[in-house]
Chains A and B, each alone.
Chain A
Amino acid sequence: MLEADILNKLMEDPTVVAILNSQNGTVNVYNGAIPKSAPTPFIPAIVLQGGGTKYFYGADGINRFHQKTLQFDSYANDYTTALKVSNTVRELLQEFSGPLTNTIVTGSLIRRDMDMPFEPGEGGYLFRHLLAIEFQYTENN
């Protein structure tokens, strides 16, 4: 599964770990959403979501090559940190290709890189920067 592979790649990257200011062995990278059980401080954080997949078929069935867009939302207490976190992800993945645990990524293309509206919360504002990358890959199985 591409999502799991990319999540692991982010969590194992020392630059990502450093900018997320990870504490107590927790790296704030999540699939889908920041869970309510996430240990504090839970930001800065990166959340991955699937943003659409292109599948290809021949007469004999589905092609193992897929193109999937993953959305990386970078959250922080201030605008600049949210942008720095997003840029760290971009620099790591913007030209990435190679084998991962479950997939072989043959190419990565940035599709969106944009600010999102801040979100009001109990203790202030939460800033979010959106990065969407399309991965070209094949599943190992």
Chain B
Amino acid sequence: MSNVAATTYTWLGGAFEFEQNFGSGSFTTISQVTDVDESGSKWDTPDITSADNTDGVKRQTTTLFTPGTISVSILWNPQDASHIALKATYLAGGTHNFKRILPGAFSGGTRSFQGQISELNVGKQSLDKPTNATLKVLISGPYTDS
């Protein structure tokens, strides 16, 4: 571990990017992202215990992999170009390419994947707090970390 800069990290310096036009190779970085929350990644693990297992201990195996969901919280600014583009991409529907880049620019810190924007909600709007929007992306198919 001697050459590892940090043993954990905050999101400051990270980036979440999306491709407006699928396959264009041109990614837009969403500005003012405050939180990225990855969840739901799991394997289906059906029970394969049989009568041959006489030791009284269950067996499972792995079948289908669910890559999961990424939720992104954004300090929403309706005049921000990246937010305007994100909203247009969401309303257009379809599958898009995304990148989640961890802060620090290290090998393995960039996750590239395809997915669908399933939700984009500008949440509670208050008199005395900045407005936070939440983006939810369903990862569709395998992802790569580079």
Contacts and interface: CB of A to CB of B under 8 A. Distances in A.
B128 A60 contact: no
B31 A58 contact: yes
Interface string B26-41: 0001011110000000
A56 B130 CA distance: 9
Interface in B49-83: 74-75
B31 A60 contact: yes
B11 interface: yes
B130 A57 contact: no
B103 interface: yes
Contacts, number: 36
* Highest count of chain B CB atoms <10 Å: which of A57, A60, A63: A60
Contact of B33 (A60, A65, A67, A134): A60
Contacts of B34: 57-59
Interface of A: 56-60, 63, 65, 67, 107, 109, 134, 136
Given A58-B75, A60-B31, A109-B128, 9 more contacts: A57-B12, A59-B14, A59-B15, A59-B16, A59-B103, A60-B29, A60-B33, A65-B130, A107-B127
